[in-house]
Amino acid sequence: MTLIRTKPEIKNEIKFSLDNISTHTLKNGIKLFYLRKEKLPMIRLNLVVEAGGKFDFFTKPGTARLTSQMIDEGADGLTALELSDEFDLLGTDFSISADNDFIILSLQSLTENFEKSLELFSKVILKPDFPEKEFEREKKKLLVNILQLKDDPERIAEQIFDKIIFANHYYAMPVSGYLDTVEKVNLNDVINHYSKYFKANNSFIAAAGNLTSEEIFQLIEKYFDTYSSSSEKISLPEKFEVLDKKIFVYDKSDSVQTEIRVGYLSGKRNISDYFSKLLLNTIFGGQFNSRLNSNLREKKGYTYGISSHFVYNKNAGYFSISTSVSSEITFDAVKEILSEIKNLKNGVTEEELNFAKTALTRKFPLNFENYRQLTSNLSALAIHNLPLSYFNEYLRNLNSVTIVQVNEQALKLSQADMKIILVGNRKSFEKEFTEKGFELVKVDERGDLV
């Protein structure tokens, strides 16, 4: 199959504007980001608390995840079932998630039921009961989830990748923790985690809906005025250790596929190089007709798909390539990936750059179609300290990137100290690597050297 790299035709210049973003800081220090969207009688609100898995660096990995699982298991005398029933009666969607940096509590409601929903939401956040019985149940659920990891090569590869890339840094730990660490977590650990990190000045709110900014600010002030702040400064060590080895293997002898991850520590997100990296990645592995996919899928037939990404946590970022191939072609696939990386030293073409700009320009408005996307993008402003004008200037900044800037990033990528993670049947590919002089370093499912 031959891919035609024809620039998509755009009949009209794409116009995009988010002019209704407003901010407000409550007396207790919590900052609000609000986008008024009048089309539907709907409100979505995210409370984002910097209480994620990175803080388990000081305690027991898995504590943050268990805190996120426990916080809605009863509040202000209401049981978990009663809370769920109350939200259901209001037609309100309520959810909680946790990652390395944050615990995120989300609420989506019809405007007419928003105040009642917000009142219930505030009880969950400000008055959790943390019942012992539910803790034991949630802990067992998490342990089962971790056990299931052993049968999921993709999850194993992701966990090992984080460990190898971040080494002894706090981002190396999985948010879910490990079997032995979660076993040690008790209810007091969860309560202490909540008490220490659930603070107004350690949180922000991102919301979108059809209320005026004054109306929503007043409601949040009403129900979150007792959300206390803390004067304690919480700092984490920012030392990154780079391992001197290159290829790391987790031997899964029953596997007929090899999960491949290739990447390196690439730095925090910043406006100065974000768009040149984005365009480079789009060309290299960020779309179907990228260089990686054109080679390994379309030309070689090694995989159903391969992609690359620049990923940005709050305090660090990394570049990764992900794919899965049959065990017997593991070496050939890695060889082609490394060849494509090396070829980046020759830069990209104007045709490739223009195609990437056009594709990203056309897709950009699709990132703001629903309330979940809107609040997620508002959250990005706060997390990465971006200006309120960021999205209005996005397309201009994207399309003003020069080929010189992209090729500067391409050269850096071609010279980066890439780490390679292989999860699969070691015996099926070991000989080819060793014959070519590559050392395969054995790791366990955590990514620790064995």
CA 317, CA 360: separation in Å to the nearest integer?
21
The answer, yes or no, to whether residue 2 has pLDDT greater than 70, is no
Please, which pLDDT band fits residue 12 given cuts at 50, 70 and 90?
Answer: very low
Measured over the CA atoms of residue 164, residue 97, residue 62 and residue 147, the dihedral's sign is negative
Instruction: Report whether pLDDT(5) > 80.
Output: no
Concatenated DSSP letters for 36-98? E--SSSEEEEEEEES-SGGGGGGS-TTHHHHHHHHTTS-BTTB-HHHHHHHHHHTT-EEEEEE
What's the chain's average pLDDT? 94
Mean pLDDT of 83-112: 97
Place of tokens 């259901």: 88
pLDDT on residue 128: 98
In this prediction, residues 304-326 reach a mean pLDDT of 97
Please tell me the predicted confidence (pLDDT) of residue 15.
80
Which residues sit opposite 448 in a β-bridge?
none
Around Cβ 384, how many Cβ atoms within 10 Å?
A: 16
Question: Is residue 326 scored above 50 in pLDDT?
Answer: yes
pLDDT band, residue 253 (cuts 50/70/90): very high
**Please, what are the domains in the chain?**
21-224 (3.30.830.10), 247-442 (3.30.830.10)
Considering all CA atoms of the chain, what is the largest pairwise distance in Å, rounded to the nearest integer?
Answer: 69
Window from 20-29, 170-179, 323-332, 345-354 with minimum mean pLDDT: 20-29
- The pLDDT tens digits of the residues spanning 47-64 come to 999 999 999 988 899 999
Helix, strand, or coil (residue 151): helix
Which residues, at least 6 apart from 160, have a Cβ–Cβ distance to it below 8 Å?
248, 250, 261, 421, 423, 443, 445, 446, 447
Its pTM stands at 0.92
Structure tokens at 437: 């002089």
pLDDT tens profile 427-445: 999 999 999 999 999 999 9
Portion of the chain with pLDDT greater than 70, in percent:
97
Phi-psi region of 382 (alpha: psi -120 to 50; beta: other; left: phi over 0): alpha
Range 244-271 average pLDDT: 93
- Mean pLDDT score, 207-216: 96
